[in-house]
Amino acid sequence: MKAGSKIKVITPELSVKEELETVCCLLSLGIDIHLRKPGWSDDRMRAYLYKLPDKHLSQISVHGNWNLMEHGMGGLHLNSNQIICHKNDFRLSKSFHSIEAIENCNMELSYGFLSPVFDSISKKNYQTSFNKYDLTRKLMSMKKQMKIYALGGIKPENVKDCVHMGFDGIAVFGSIWGEPDLKTRMLQCEKFLAYA
């Protein structure tokens, strides 16, 4: 398994400087991208996607937008309240906020995001409700029906904690997009790759 496949990066909700360049560099490293742009029209999302290399479309999961799946996207990501009732030919993932929700999920998913594992970097006052030791015990003892990625407050220095807790990988947002430009984002990404 490539190190990049253990890392998912979620796009910022609002456009930022050198965003497309950053996304292209991440894709070229084998890192999957979750395209999350709430409030964007289908046309605006398509325009964004058309700017990305076709060879990397299979690495992109769109958040909650069924209409974009015809464009060769690799996956669809559901928020914690969405459900899907039929099998699809693409990756299907979902957000969760508790172990119990994962255990009670009856959908056939490729993976899920559990958040917030640590206090959020990008959302002020969005703090974890998980106890590290309880979470580790639950993750290690549960029968996983999908891969589980840690999301929320993920920094290079706590990636090893995520691995020790039993997560299959990490989903990153604030640690990448909190950096001001392409160069510093890629330096941050190198730190993540060193731990993956």
Contacts of 1 (CB under 8 A, 6+ apart): none
What pLDDT does 107 receive?
87
Return d(Cα 13, Cα 28) in angstroms, integer.
22
Share of the chain above pLDDT 70, in %: 94
Residue 41 bridge partners (DSSP): none
For residues 36 and 10, is the Cβ–Cβ distance under 8 A? yes
User: For residue range 52-106, what is the model confidence (pLDDT) as tens digits?
Assistant: 999 999 999 999 887 887 667 889 998 877 776 565 678 899 999 999 999 999 8
Share of the chain above pLDDT 90, in %: 69
Question: If you average pLDDT over residues 29-35, what whole number do you get?
Answer: 95
What pLDDT does 175 receive?
96
Question: If you average pLDDT over residues 12-27, what whole number do you get?
Answer: 97
Q: What is the pTM of this model?
A: 0.93
DSSP result, 141-153: HS--SSEEEEESS
Name the token pair of 51: 């700017």
What pLDDT does 86 receive?
60
What pLDDT does 65 receive?
81
Separation of CA 98 from chain center:
16
User: For residue range 121-142, what is the model confidence (pLDDT) as tens digits?
Assistant: 887 777 888 889 999 999 988 8
Contacts of 73 (CB under 8 A, 6+ apart): 49, 57, 58, 60, 61, 62, 90
What pLDDT does 112 receive?
96
Question: If you average pLDDT over residues 155-179, what whole number do you get?
Answer: 95
Instruction: Identify the residue whose tokens are 């009670």.
Output: 104
Contacts of 14 (CB under 8 A, 6+ apart): none
Q: Which domains does the chain have, with CATH numbers?
A: 3-195 (3.20.20.70)
Per residue, the 3-state secondary structure of the chain, as one string, reads CCHHHHEEEECCCCCCCCHHHHHHHHHHCCCEEEECCCCCCHHHHHHHHHCCCHHHHHHEEEECCHHHHHHCCCEEEECCCCCCCCCCCCEEEEEECCHHHHHCCCCCCCEEEECCCCCCCCCCCCCCCCCHHHHHHHHHHCCCCCEEEEECCCCHHHHHHHHHHCCCEEEECHHHHCCCCHHHHHHHHHHHHHHC
pLDDT of 2 > 60? The answer is no
Give residue 1's pLDDT band: very low, low, confident or very high (50, 70, 90).
Answer: very low
